[in-house]
Amino acid sequence: MAKFMVDFKGMSWDYKRVKVGAARKEKSEADLLDQATVQLLRAVKQKMLKKQGRVDRAKHLKEGYSERFLARLEDA
């Protein structure tokens, strides 16, 4: 049976006070959906920019994307 020795020299036994921030407010479902939509639009825009170098509005309109989607995509 092996014996183990624990060295407590490096440990501090002094407890320090920790400030706790205010509790977060719960987000409503609408707020969560808005946040998720913005993140998805940003990701789509980044992917388009990486692949094509720009957002080709005319091409995407021909492919069936809506004006509203493309407007929000440009704002993202």
Query: What residue segments make up the domains of the chain, in order of their start?
Result: 30-75
Q: Quote the DSSP letter at residue 1.
A: -
Cα separation, 62 vs 75, in Å, equals 20
Per-residue pLDDT tens for 11-23? 565 666 777 777 7
Q: Please tell me the pTM assigned to this model.
A: 0.57
Q: Give the helix ranges, DSSP H, for 1-76.
A: 29-52, 57-63, 67-75
Mean pLDDT over all residues of the chain? 82
Residue 9 has pLDDT above 90, yes or no: no
Q: C-alpha distances in angstroms, 37 versus 10, 16, 27, 47, 65?
A: 49, 42, 15, 15, 16
Q: What is the pLDDT of residues 36-54, one digit of tens each?
A: 999 999 998 999 889 988 8
**DSSP secondary structure letter of residue 28:** P
Amino acid at 37: T
Average pLDDT over residues 53-74: 88
Q: Give me the pLDDT at residue 75, please.
A: 84
